[in-house]
């Protein structure tokens, strides 16, 4: 039987303790004295929109399903999400949020109205997964809640009633919640007011949206601790939208942050984004090049914030939609189901490294999306489930949650193809609460291995895991779920030098030991 990974074909020990060349191709320096800031766990947030097979079949199957479930939530998917320590979930959209009326999702299942999801292909929306189902799921997972309020077809009264229903201890809304089976109030940690208001959220001018935001935010009240209020901001190419919204005279007193949406399209063309599998190397390197733009996009947002002196010091950037977006394999485009490969894993790790390097301003990031949609953690097919390479990256990066991001300087060779050249290696480092340093390295080169000198950390060895694959589009299927999975990785220093070897198409997360 052919090994699924040529880097493992010599045996695990061969990979973990490989003989390294004397001179490294790349060099990593670190400032251990002035950390960037705390890496918020919410940087590893998830996004659950009513879209495709995500809520229905992906998460919710109903209590009467033959698929093992607890109160209608799939047990296998829940266990996989629990293992990720999901910090926060954004719901119910996305574009769908501006069509969602929360009362449709209350009460007995057989009495909930059937609606059409006109944002995503007019698909049936049974409202089986509603307020109680979402908040119970988040509570069981230990995840914070990020609620996207309906600005497009809703009202300030509807939004205020929803928040009262969720958090009140007395009054008519609290009594209604109790009648629907929930005694204790829930916690709403974050609220977004509108979504992509420059597009599917109403094609509003920034001035018109800013006025509406101020009205909604004024009445977005909860009992107890107030949620952080998030403005619907720009995408990667219309920063002036956010700039204008933040110029509103009352915004600074009514918001704790603003959103940013950045997707990675391999071709950069929304009409022909590129394939999920079977793509040429040109689409590998172009995906890497386009995802690395995230760093400059965030820098531009930070520079724009500086123009608004009235913003609070802890005002944050919320990258609440990001990830790979490719062409659908079938004509069912509105379902946005796509296969997930080692390329997706590399793209995810590159973005996480960028977010961590901006830990002082990026307070949350929500990958699009959690199950069965776009760059998903998990794919399902009836009773079957498979974890994607992206899932494994999120699992590997768990040690960074709550750690202090360290400033690193990287001297790296380029990875080039034709006229396109990108840095071959990406790195991020952090000091955990136990004092140990964790290091993430990505080799985005589709062809060649590289070595990196990490001696600046003063460590004698590195131990952790590696994710890599034989081909550019290697992926996990329901019949072969372990084609791409993490394996142990270790490196030992010699004479004060610690050099790590990075196979092509690889993500490595290690803890450094003195």
CATH code of the domain in which 451 resides: 2.60.40.1180
Q: What is the mean pLDDT of residues 39-66?
A: 97
Residues 169, 197, single domain; the answer is yes
470 and 430 in one domain? yes
Query: What CATH code is carried by the domain that includes residue 351?
Result: 3.20.20.80
The residue whose two tokens read 């724009």 is: 304
Residue 207 within any structural domain of the chain: yes
Same domain, yes or no, for 417 and 485?
yes
The beta strand positions in 432-486, using DSSP E, are 437-443, 450-453, 461-467
Q: Are 172 and 312 in a shared domain?
A: yes
Let me know whether 155 and 272 are in one domain.
yes
Helices marked H in 367-423? 389-396
Residue pair 371/315 in contact (Cβ under 8 Å)? The answer is no
Percent of the chain with pLDDT over 70: 95
- Say if 338 falls within a structural domain: yes
Q: Are strands 425-431 and 73-74 parallel, antiparallel or unpaired?
A: unpaired
Is residue 1, in this structure, part of any structural domain at all?
A: no
Residue 238 in domain: yes
244 located within any domain:
yes
**Domain annotation covers residue 7:** no
Binned at pLDDT 50, 70 and 90, residue 52 comes out as: very high
- The helix, strand and coil proportions of the chain, stated in percent and rounded to the nearest 5, come to 30, 25, 45
The mean pLDDT of 21-28, rounded to a whole number, is 71
Q: Is the CB of residue 48 less than 8 Å from the CB of residue 134?
A: yes
Q: Look up residue 73 and give its two tokens.
A: 């939530």
435 and 473 housed in the same domain: yes
pLDDT band at 110 (very low <50, low <70, confident <90, very high): very high
pLDDT of 287 reads 98
221 and 133 share one domain = yes
Is the pTM of the predicted complex or chain greater than 0.85? yes
Chain centre distance of CA 383? 25
Q: Which of 8-17, 119-128, 345-354, 448-457 has the lowest mean pLDDT?
A: 8-17
Residue that the structure tokens 């340093």 belong to:
437
Determine whether 321 is an active site residue: yes
Sequence-distant (6+) residues with CB within 8 A of 122 are 116
Phi/psi at 100 (nearest 5 deg)?
-90, 125
Domain that holds residue 444: 12-31+406-513
| Mean predicted confidence (pLDDT) in 319-324 | 98
Which one is catalytic: 196, 256, 283, 395? 196
The pLDDT score that the predictor gives to residue 4 is 35
Longest dimension (CA), the chain: 73
Average pLDDT on 191-203 reads: 97
Same domain, 253 and 298: yes
Q: Is the pLDDT of residue 331 over 90?
A: no
Q: What is the 3-state secondary structure (H, E, C) of 124-174?
A: EECCCCCHHHHHHHHHHHCCEEEEEECCCCCCHHHHHHHHHHHHCCCCHHH
Q: Assess if residue 2 is contained within a domain.
A: no
Query: 401, 420, 439: which is the final residue of a domain?
Result: 401
pLDDT at 272 over 60: yes
The string of pLDDT tens digits covering residues 373-390 is 999 999 999 999 999 999
359 and 420 both lie in a single domain: no
Return the sign of the alpha-carbon dihedral for residues 491, 496, 502, 506.
positive
- pLDDT band with cut points at 50, 70 and 90 for residue 361: very high
pLDDT confidence tier of residue 9, bands split at 50, 70 and 90: very low
Confidence of residue 3 (pLDDT cuts 50, 70, 90): very low
Find, among 146, 338, 332, the residue nearest to 227 by Cα: 146
For residue 512, what pLDDT is reported? 96
pLDDT value at residue 24: 62
23 has pLDDT over 60: no
**Dist. CA 329–CA 374, nearest whole Å:** 12
Distances 94 to 192, 196, 320 between C-alpha atoms, Å: 10, 8, 9
Q: Is the pLDDT of residue 234 over 80?
A: yes
Do 79 and 217 fall within a single domain?
Answer: yes
Instruction: Note whether 328 and 210 are same-domain residues.
Output: yes
d(C-alpha 254, C-alpha 7), whole Å: 53
Query: Among 401, 436, 462, which residue terminates a domain?
Result: 401
Q: Which of 401, 429, 455 corresponds to the end of one domain?
A: 401
Indicate the range of 75-84, 96-105, 277-286, 328-337 predicted with least confidence. 328-337
Asked if residue 114 has pLDDT above 60, the reply is: yes
- Considering only residues 138 and 1, tell me which one the structure prediction assigns the higher pLDDT: 138
Q: Tell whether the model's pLDDT for residue 5 goes beyond 90.
A: no
281 as an active site residue: the answer is no
Contact 407, 31 (CB under 8 A): yes
* Catalytic residue of the set 42, 49, 133, 321: 321
Say whether both 357 and 439 belong to one domain. Answer: no
Contacts of 217 (CB under 8 A, 6+ apart): 193, 229, 254, 255
Instruction: State how many domains the chain has.
Output: 2
């Amino acid at each position: 039987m052919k090994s699924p990974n040529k880097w493992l074909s010599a045996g695990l020990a061969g990979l973990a303790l490989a003989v390294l060349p004397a001179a490294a191709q790349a060099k990593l320096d670190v400032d251990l004295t002035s950390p960037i800031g705390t890496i918020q766990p919410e940087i590893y947030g998830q996004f659950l929109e009513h879209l495709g097979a995500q809520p229905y079949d992906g998460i919710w199957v109903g209590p009467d399903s033959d698929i093992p479930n607890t109160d209608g939530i799939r047990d296998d998917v829940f266990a996989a999400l629990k293992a990720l320590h999901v910090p926060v979930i954004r719901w119910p959209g996305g574009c769908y949020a501006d069509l969602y009326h929360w009362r449709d999702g209350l009460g007995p299942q057989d009495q909930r109205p059937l609606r059409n999801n006109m944002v995503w292909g007019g698909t049936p929306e049974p409202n089986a997964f509603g307020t109680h189902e979402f908040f119970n799921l988040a509570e069981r997972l230990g995840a914070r809640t990020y609620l996207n309020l309906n600005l497009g077809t809703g009202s300030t009264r509807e939004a205020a009633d929803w928040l009262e229903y969720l958090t009140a201890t007395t009054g008519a809304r609290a009594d209604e919640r109790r009648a629907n089976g929930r005694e204790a109030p829930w916690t709403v940690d974050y609220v977004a007011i509108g979504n992509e208001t420059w597009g599917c959220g109403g094609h509003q001018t920034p001035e018109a949206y800013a006025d509406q935001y101020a009205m909604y935010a004024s009445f977005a009240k909860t009992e107890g601790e107030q949620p952080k209020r998030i403005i619907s901001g720009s995408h990667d190419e219309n920063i002036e939208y956010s700039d204008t919204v933040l110029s509103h005279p009352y915004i600074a007193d009514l918001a704790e942050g603003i959103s940013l949406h950045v997707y990675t399209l391999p071709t950069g063309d929304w009409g022909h984004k590129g394939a999920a599998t079977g793509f040429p190397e040109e689409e590998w390197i172009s995906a890497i090049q386009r995802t690395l733009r995230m760093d400059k996009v965030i820098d531009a947002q930070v520079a724009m914030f500086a123009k608004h002196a009235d913003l609070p010091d802890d005002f944050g950037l919320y990258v609440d939609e990001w990830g790979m977006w490719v062409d659908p394999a079938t004509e069912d485009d509105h379902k946005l189901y796509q296969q997930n490969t080692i390329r997706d894993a590399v793209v995810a790790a590159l973005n996480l490294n960028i977010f961590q390097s901006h830990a002082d301003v990026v307070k949350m990031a929500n990958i699009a999306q959690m199950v069965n949609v776009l760059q998903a953690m998990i794919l399902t097919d009836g009773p079957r489930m498979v974890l994607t390479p992206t899932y494994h990256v999120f699992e590997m990066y768990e040690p960074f949650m709550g750690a202090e991001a360290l400033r690193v300087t990287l001297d790296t060779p380029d990875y080039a193809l034709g006229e396109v050249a990108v840095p071959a290696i990406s790195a991020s480092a952090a000091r955990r609460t136990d004092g140990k340093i964790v290091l993430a390295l990505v080799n985005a080169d589709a062809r060649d291995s590289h070595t990196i000198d990490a001696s600046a950390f003063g460590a004698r060895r590195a131990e952790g895991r590696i994710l890599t694959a034989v081909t550019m589009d290697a992926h996990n299927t329901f019949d072969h779920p372990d084609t791409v999975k993490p394996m142990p990785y270790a490196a030992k220093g010699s004479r004060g030098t610690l050099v790590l070897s990075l196979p092509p198409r690889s993500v490595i997360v290690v803890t450094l030991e003195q």
